[in-house]
Structure 1
Amino acid sequence: MPSPETGTAATDQDAPLPQAQLVQRNRISLVWLLPVLALVIGGWLAWKTLSERGPTVQIRFESAAGIEKGRTKVKLKDVVIGQVSDIRLTEDLAHVEVTAQLNDDTEGFLTENTRFWIARPRVTATGVSGLETLLSGPFVAIDPHPGKRSKREFVGLPAPPAITTADKGTQFGLRAPSLGSLSVGSPVYYRRIPVGRVVGYALADDNSGVDIDIFIETPHDRRVNDQSRFWNASGIDVSLSADGIQVDTDSVVAMVVGGVAFGNFGADGPPPAEGFRFTLLRNLDEARTLDREPHDERSFYMVFNGSVRGLSVGAPVLLRGIEIGEVTDIDLVFNPEGPAFEIPVRVEIDVNKIGLGADMQVAVNRHERLLDELVAKGLRGQLKQGSLITGQLFVELDIHPGAPPATLGQYDELPLLPTVEGGLEALTAKVDKVLTALAAIPFDEIGDNLNGTLAGTRAIVESPELSDAIRQASATLSSADATIAPDSPLNVELNRTLRAISTAARSVQVLADYLERHPEALLKGKGGGR
């Protein structure tokens, strides 16, 4: 449309331009929310990680063989409760200090009684352990124990502990003169069943022996009372005695690493008091024969003149087969007035085992009338051989009514019991007598006479007269043989005569049979007179 002023048409360029209007916004842009949200989440995760982070412990080991930073686990009963975070040497380079980060729920495990060690494959005389680590690698094991004080620094054990919190049972103490072949881990047996093990040992405070600690598992620990007897079951118990060779062992393991056994032998009693230590006896025989009643042992001497080879200190003294004492000393004495040498043997006899009454015990103790009466009745000591295999001897006391008269003597201020020759000595004496009698026989003269007799017999056999007699006897036998030959006239006539006799015998038999049927024939004749 034309402009009224100019008369020309108006254009779009002449129109006024639109103006931008600024609008001020008060809200925050959504773009800024993303980093803020990320920061919040990161902070929360950091707080959660720190809040769930458990305690850090430091453990000192002799060596860190197989331990790796960031990989080696800390386990309790095969459950992972932490991880090794750092490994470094101590300043003196003598140990390795391992830092482990544990879970937050392990705070109550860390006390002054808690123990750590490195679990790895171990081969000992008592067995093989830690085989599971062959594939997974070593790990740090923990054995938590309750305690009063919390702790963060520990000294690791060089080997797994003998008893852990997982083991249920009771620990007992033993006292022995020496450790012998026992070691930590040696088994403890009850009726040849393994029920525990040796867990430690140390020298006694008074140096009187060795204190041995054993652990017996539940429920077998209830079988131990204050009357129980423990003995050494180590190795093979081989004894050479008058009874022969005795071999005893509880198991193959005990043969290798030793062992302890215990039993009650019918004795009941209360559980042992705290700190009570049993005496470790030498063997099962000592445990069986242990007599809690007081002994009444008296010493005597016996003098033997023959050889005592095979008799040793500790050999038994028997009375009618029952052991009543033992040999305590064997000596050798030169005697210029009697046999060149005498062997005094000292023995100890427990008179309680003889079963004497109180009055008799007084008499025995005083060496008075009773011993004199027993010796007068033939009480003698004698050496006897208990085993042909070992050749060990023992002393036997018995009544020998036929023994030569003797009286109770005295030797070194002790009563001297008379003796008789042992079985072997008596046999040797009899053999000597037989040999002496044989030596008195004139074997040379008998041999000469026998040779003369044989020479005369040979002369007779080789003489011509004997040869002629033998030829004549041979001719006579040949003639007699020709006479009785089957085809000789004498034999033919003899056979004919025998046949005739046989025919006559048959006729008589027929007649006898007929007369038996017809006795009237004797009067009427055959046919009845018709």
Structure 2
Amino acid sequence: MSDPNKQVENMRQVRFNSIWLVPLIALIVAGWMLYENWASKGPVITLIASNADGLEVGKTKLKSRNVDVGRVIGIRLSDDFEKAIIKVRMQHGTEQMLRDDARFWVVKPRIGKEGVSGLGTLLSGAYIDMTPGAKGRLQTDFTLLSQPPLSTENEGVRLVLSSMDGAKLDVGASVHFRGYEVGYVEKVGFDTDKGAITYHVVIRSPYDALVNSESQFWLTPGLSFKSSASGFEVRLDSLETFFAGGISFGLPTGRTAGLPVSDMTSFRLYSSRDSATNNMYSEFINYVFMFDSNVSGLTPGAAVEFRGVRIGTVLEVPFSGIPMQTLTGLDTPLIPVRARIEPQRLNSLNPEDGMSLAEWHAYIEERIDNGLRASLKIGNYLNAAKVINIDYVGNPPPVKWKEFAGFKVFPTAPDAFANIESKVGSILDNLSQVPLNSTLEQVSETMNEASETLRQLQLVSKSVTQLLNSPDTQQLPAELAATINELNLTLETYQANGQIGRPLRENMVSLGRALNELQPLLRQLREKPSTLIFDSKPRSDVQPKAAK
């Protein structure tokens, strides 16, 4: 029989054979590899985009500063089928990049006014680029931008500008301060509630310190042409804004800097610098001017002047706040114009300095009682642009209304051109009342009497000649003969061919001919005095042509 102790020892040797260490080591290595693979993976983030054009699962990379930091692992549609949901596996150690201000966009070939970009993706394919977040909390859900951001720098301030004008700028338009580029337009939208175009602009650091609560923003077109009462103005900005336009900002003259602004502060964007300047006055007095003359050439934005000094701005021509039924019911049809007087143009922009608004109103009312009136004046005869001129007038017309339809009325007086028309009309009326027929008859009688006088002088001259030629006269003393000779010479000058008689006869004939030629004109002026200014032949209206 065999020894039991020896059998147990053999069984132990079989159980602890070294061959069993191989699978054990393999399991340990596999487990370690699985752990390393799991530990080396970063978080999975979700990008929401309008579409997934150019992206492929397992191939499209996520880069930051041209370094691979992730890869697309899944693409699907959202539950409402309106968006594309893109899953991206980030690398280990990228968690701190995923903050609120991180931005993601697709890099692919693009052609725009800024040039051609993304040509490197023609061979490698599109990829997702990102700017690491630096502020805010950590998150995993982001929105994929439809286009690359213009700047990857987050320093500066972002503002919202609202424009009520029709002009529109594109994304990327420059923002200037005194001609120097300090920012750009980041986003363009439309506010349906206000009916205004909105621009999200970025002012880069350190130029964001130039913006304060009193700053004004206005459009700077590359080429602008303006015609006003001040004349014609052609302005050419930089070549950069000549094609794409731009925005400028600054502090109005005479106004001190305000408080610093924060992100997303709203400002109004004016159409021009002049428009921004005219709207910087916070205190004004609204008036309605009732004109009974032609307001052609008076446009919104025109000046209200006092002896050449601008004190206000025209707002609306004609003013639609007064019902036309009210105006047509008046004895004389009037054209209402809404304008405002801005005392701050003469006063300080600081309401605490100078006269208050109530004091200005009382001051103007007192001057109106003393003859202050408004009239239309041509500011520029080249383009017939008009302004409202306020000045004292002699024998001012009485004030008919202090208020009309709920609005304060500034009394008006006929303008200078209307006064000329009235004076010319008065002259024509007086001319039409002149008794021309009796005057012409008297002139004819005077000419006949002058002719008879000349004939009598000729007879007298002949008689004197006969007297001198007679023998009796020749026997007179020499002194008397000389006197008679002088008298004869004097009478000869009054004859038809004499030095006095001939010009006098020619003048009488010319005067008669001129009076005969004036008779048709005088007859026409008597029947229609207005032909002295206006053409007697009526002009036919231009017939519009039908569109082809």
Same fold (TM > 0.5): yes
Please name the residue that 1:52 is paired with.
40
Q: CA deviation at 1:37?
A: 8.9
Contact 2:278 2:313 in 1 (8 A): no
**In 1, distance between residues paired with 2:26 and 2:39?**
20
1:133–1:251 distance in 2 versus 1, CA, 3 Å: farther
User: Distance between the aligned counterparts of 2:162 and 2:334, measured in 1?
Assistant: 42
Give the match for residue 61 of structure 2. Answer: 73
Q: Deviations over 1:501-526 (max 9, x none)?
A: xxxxxxxxxxxxxxxxxxxxxxxxxx
Structure 1 residues 174, 58: closer, same or farther in 2, change over 3 A? closer
Q: Could you tell me which residue of structure 2 aligns to residue 295 of structure 1?
A: 284
Residue 232 of structure 1 deviates from its aligned partner by 3.3
Q: CA deviation at 1:144?
A: 3.1
Query: TM-score normalized by structure 2?
Result: 0.57
Q: Is the 8 A contact 2:168 2:197 kept in 1?
A: no
Q: Structure 2: where are the runs of 5+ without partners?
A: 1-12, 349-353, 404-408, 441-508, 515-548
**Which deviations, in whole Å up to 9, do the C-alpha atoms of 1:321-357 show, x marking residues without a partner?**
21123445559978998xx876676654445656799
Is the partner of 1:422 in helix, strand or coil?
A: helix
Residue aligned with 2:71, SS? strand
Residue identity opposite 1:365 in structure 2:
A
Partner of 2:411: 416
**Partner of residue 63, structure 1:** 51
CA contact 1:380–1:420 (8 Å) conserved in 2: no
Residue 175 of structure 2 is aligned to residue 188 of structure 1: yes
Name the SS of the counterpart of 2:106 in structure 1.
strand
Query: Contact between 1:382 and 1:422, CA under 8 Å: does it hold in 2?
Result: no
CA-CA distance at 1:308 after TM superposition: 4.0
**CA distances 1:1-55 after superposition (whole Å, capped 9, x unpaired):** xxxxxxxxxxxxxxxxxxxxxxxx99x9999999999998777666655543434
1:261 to 248, 251, 264: 248
Whole-Å Cα distance in 2 between the matches of residues 363 and 84 of structure 1? 70
Q: Does 1:386 align with 2:379?
A: yes
Aligned length: 407
Corresponding residue of 2:390 = 397
1:102 maps to what in 2?
A: 90
In structure 1, what is the equivalent of residue 460 of structure 2? Answer: none
Q: Which moved more, 1:421-430 or 1:223-232?
A: 421-430
Is the Cα contact below 8 Å between 1:372 and 1:407 reproduced in 2? no
Distance between the aligned counterparts of 1:364 and 1:62, measured in 2?
A: 59
Partner residue in 2 for 1:277: 266
Identity between Structure 1 and Structure 2 (%): 27
* Aligned 8 A contact 1:70 1:85 in 2: yes
CA distance in 2, matches of 1:36, 1:367: 105
Name the aligned partner's letter for residue 397 of structure 1.
I
Q: Bigger radius of gyration, 1 or 2?
A: 1
**CA apart distance, 1:319:** 2.0
* Structure 1 letter corresponding to 2:270: L
**Aligned residue identity for 2:65:** K
* Displacement after TM superposition at 1:229 (Å): 1.6
Aligned-partner Cα distance in 1 for 2:144–2:318? 57
Note closer, same or farther for the CA distance 1:208–1:88 as it changes in structure 2 (3 Å cut).
closer
TM alignment of 1:353-368, pairs within 5 A:
353=345, 365=362
1:309 pairs with one of 296, 301, 308: 296
Q: CA RMSD in A?
A: 5.2
**Structure 1 counterpart of 2:144:** 156
CA distance in 2, matches of 1:124, 1:136: 21
Q: 1:344 & 1:99 partners in 2: Cα distance?
A: 65
> Is the alpha carbon distance of 1:80 and 1:323 closer, same or farther for their aligned partners in structure 2, counting shifts above 3 Å?
same
Please tell me whether the aligned partners of residues 89 and 97 of structure 1 are also in contact (alpha carbons under 8 angstroms): yes
Question: 5+ unaligned residues in a row in structure 1: which ranges?
Answer: 1-24, 451-530
CA distance in 1, matches of 2:335, 2:231: 24
In the alignment, which residue of structure 2 is the partner of 1:524?
A: none
| Counterpart position of 1:174 | 161
Rounded to whole Å, the distance in 2 between the matches of 1:149 and 1:293 is 42
The CA distance in 2 between the partners of 1:257 and 1:171, in whole Å, is 21
Kept in 2: contact 1:175–1:212 (CA 8 A)? yes
The whole-number CA distance in structure 2 between the counterparts of 1:347 and 1:90 is: 56
Partner SS, residue 386 of structure 1: strand
Paired position in structure 2 for 1:137: 125
The one-character-per-residue Cα deviations of 1:181-222 (angstroms, maximum 9, x if unpaired) are 145433322112221123346666975856643211111111
Cα distance in 2 between the residues matched to 1:283 and 1:245:
15
Q: CA deviation at 1:170?
A: 1.6
Aligned partners of 1:104 and 1:302: how far apart in 2?
79
Pick closer, same or farther for the CA change 1:428–1:362 going to 2, 3 Å: same
